[in-house]
Amino acid sequence: MSGSWVLMILIFISSLPVIAVYIWFRLAKYQLPLVKFLFALLAGAAAFFPAVIMQDFLNISFSAKGRGPLFYEFFFRIAFTEEISRFLMLFIFFWINKHFSAEKNKLSSFTAVKEGTAIGLIAGLGFALLENARYAASEMNIVIVILRIFTAAIHGACGSRIGAAAVLIRTSPTQAFLRILTATAIHGIYNLMVSGSGLSPFAAILIAISALITTIITIRGGWNTESSIPDNELDKTVQK
């Protein structure tokens, strides 16, 4: 099979979680219109580029092997740069929505954070789409395909925590910092386990599934589906 076909197949597989999340939101009657969904997906994809730039800039070769270089590589250079890039893009997303939304009624803080969690999930999947395409262009085999599927789950789960952080950063910076730290830790542990550093990739898959399940539970448990929230309303708790 040619590389272009493999790339198309991987992109299609990576798109399935996006489609599944959109269908889930529609069936659950969550107040998230298609335009907002697509812009959240675009914000996540846009976060891929500053992350790559920072990772190239922070690419340092260590002469000695040990825990320090592993922590730097997987937790700081990869996980932290991707999560902070996602945070910046989502913060801009919420800022733009706040200043250009026609609706002025406030959502409750609780509802806004849960919606931020959902937006972050979508953004994480958008990031995964571009990252998977990059990996497919450079190296591709069945193991990579399987791992990239679960990596999309990790990006979605971590993105959900970053989305909540982007909502909370103005009003509750401590809570926002804890969510960024949690997302970075989950992401870093997953990266370390799939790197072949003596740890089982099956444990990484369990982490990806567990993190995604907690995200789904958080969104389902916190979204007000009965209230009449306008389609063009998003987070109003982000202060100037």
Band (231; pLDDT cuts 50, 70, 90): very low
Domain count, the chain: 1
Q: Is position 191 within any domain?
A: yes
Band (81; pLDDT cuts 50, 70, 90): very high
pLDDT tens track for 133-183: 777 666 656 666 677 778 889 999 999 999 999 999 999 999 999 999 999
pLDDT tens track for 183-194: 999 999 998 888
Q: Is position 66 within any domain?
A: yes
Q: Is position 229 within any domain?
A: no
Structural domain boundaries, residue 155: 3-222
> Which position has the higher pLDDT, 62 or 167?
167
Tell whether the model's pLDDT for residue 101 goes beyond 70. no
* Maximum CA extent, the chain: 59
Closest CA to 237 of 41, 36, 94, 88: 94
Looking at 59-68, 126-135, 143-152, 231-240, which range is the least confident one?
231-240
